[in-house]
A and B are shown apart, each in its own frame.
Chain A
Amino acid sequence: MDDSRAELEQGDALVQACARGDRRAFHQLYVNEAPRMLALARRFTGDASLAEDALQDTFVQVWKNAGRFRSQRGSARTWLFGLLRYRLINQHHRSRREAFEPLPGDQWPDPGPSPEQCSLENDQRRAIIDCLQTLQMDRRRPILMAFYQGFTYEQIADTLAVPLGTIKSRVRSGLKGLQECLRL
């Protein structure tokens, strides 16, 4: 079993322990997952305080709803990031951001071992990187702006100074390309 898969399985076990009221497991889950979740939240909100609030609310939700986690539907990490993004989108999505940080999409890391060596979810996590690489920059960039920075169509259009209709068309074209590449 590779490290990545072991990490995911440990996350699943920790959330299940949280559902049984295990506070130590809850803290371990926080230690393991919160640093990268904070990175996403900070990039999404552009504000350290708002990012911390989102992370705090997300972990409170994790503790309250750990019993609703179902590992058959995806890893605990996917569940955690889903909760975080849901919180971010609902609370901060519509506020205009001034800062524009570079996106972590121009220099992709080595995808690592072949998918055949890994679990289904590991395959999925690596596949998105590979598939994003196949997109033209003008498709990829607005999609990454939505994912990492929570920009709406309008905000992407404003930031890139491209007409709204063009941005929508490019994003949807990019998503179609991803969908085909990911065989969804």
Chain B
Amino acid sequence: MIPRDSQERQLLIAEHVLGLLSPKQAAEVERWLEQDDDAAQLASHWQAHWLGAAELLEPEPLPPGLWQRIERQTAEGGTRRRPFWQALWQSPSLWRTVSAGLLVAVVLLLGPLRVPAPVYTVVLQAPGEAASPGWRITVSDRGDLQLTPLADSEYPVDRSVQFWTLADPAQGPRSLGLINPGQPLILPASRVGDVESGQLFELTLEPPGGSPADRPTGPVLFIGRAVAL
């Protein structure tokens, strides 16, 4: 309820501009501001004052790709927000989950399999299931990549499973081709390209024959990040 006392009203506006009110209170104040020019003017003054505090912050470099997303979204018929694959690749919560299980998984998995002289390894896990490694990748000192299944997984027979990597988010993911579910795969260095620590790899479920675009279009089945050995 909007108070009658003018001092209380002024404080309520100050709290509103700071974002301290509950959603219900904030909605009520918004309606009040729409109808009361004096109150709206006071809110506007508070906002102008607070701009000075915002200007104390050091400007941050703008991430590559953000302007392009804004451009697309504001263009006629543009798409909204980041594409799913990009949001997933860039999701810190996903990577926190993946990273949490990664070191343990590496220690557990590398011993028995003993891939000769790998320089990078990746444990691919189902998103959000850090304890469920599905595939392991090793990259040798020559740059060859071996993808090895670690568990039996079921895949729809009418879909393809595609292998991707992402070294630079600004460039987007790069397809490493389709895989045969449950079967190991070896790719030469010329196909894999340079691999660096933290580089992302994933398997996605795609239409038969692979993604119709130059990026993943289907759900992520397994995902992981390269760790230097």
B92 contact set on A, CB distance < 8 A: 47-49
Evaluate contact between B60 and A56: CB separation under 8 angstroms: no
Q: A39-B59, A146-B20, A175-B15 are in contact. Are A128 and B49 (CB under 8 A)?
A: yes
Evaluate contact between A109 and B48: CB separation under 8 angstroms: no
* A19 interface residue (CB < 8 Å to B): no
Q: Tell me how many residues of A have a C-beta within 8 Å of chain B.
A: 63
Interface positions, chain A 19-53, Cβ under 8 Å from B, are 26-27, 30, 34-36, 38-40, 42-43, 47-49, 52-53
The answer for the CA separation of A33 and B105 in the assembled complex, in Å, is 44
Q: Tell me how many residues of B have a C-beta within 8 Å of chain A.
A: 43
The answer for the CA separation of A77 and B54 in the assembled complex, in Å, is 10
The answer for the CA separation of A90 and B15 in the assembled complex, in Å, is 15
Candidates B18, B48, B58; contact of A125 at CB < 8 Å: B48
The answer for the CA separation of A182 and B50 in the assembled complex, in Å, is 11
The answer for the CA separation of A129 and B66 in the assembled complex, in Å, is 31
Candidates A26, A39, A89, A172; contact of B58 at CB < 8 Å: A39
Q: Determine how close the nearest CB of chain A comes to the CB of B81; give it in whole angstroms.
A: 7
29 contacts between A and B (CB under 8 A): A27-B67, A34-B66, A35-B60, A36-B59, A38-B59, A39-B59, A40-B54, A49-B92, A53-B81, A56-B66, A56-B70, A56-B73, A59-B70, A74-B48, A77-B51, A78-B44, A90-B23, A104-B53, A108-B56, A128-B51, A129-B53, A147-B18, A148-B57, A152-B20, A176-B7, A178-B14, A179-B10, A179-B14, A184-B46
Candidates A56, A143, A146; contact of B81 at CB < 8 Å: A56
Of chain A, the residue at the smallest CB distance from B42 is A184
Q: A26-B74, A49-B87, A178-B14 are in contact. Are A124 and B51 (CB under 8 A)?
A: yes
Q: Determine how close the nearest CB of chain B comes to the CB of A8; give it in whole angstroms.
A: 9
B48 contact set on A, CB distance < 8 A: 74-75, 78, 121, 124-125
Q: Determine how close the nearest CB of chain A comes to the CB of B78; give it in whole angstroms.
A: 9
Evaluate contact between B51 and A81: CB separation under 8 angstroms: yes
B112 contact set on A, CB distance < 8 A: none
Of chain A, the residue at the smallest CB distance from B87 is A49
Known: A74-B47, A175-B14. 16 other contacts (CB 8 A): A39-B58, A52-B82, A56-B69, A56-B73, A59-B74, A75-B51, A93-B19, A105-B53, A108-B56, A125-B52, A125-B55, A129-B56, A147-B19, A171-B20, A176-B11, A178-B14
* B190 interface residue (CB < 8 Å to A): no
Interface positions, chain A 56-98, Cβ under 8 Å from B, are 56, 59-60, 63-64, 73-75, 77-78, 81-82, 85, 88-90, 93-94
* B91 interface residue (CB < 8 Å to A): yes
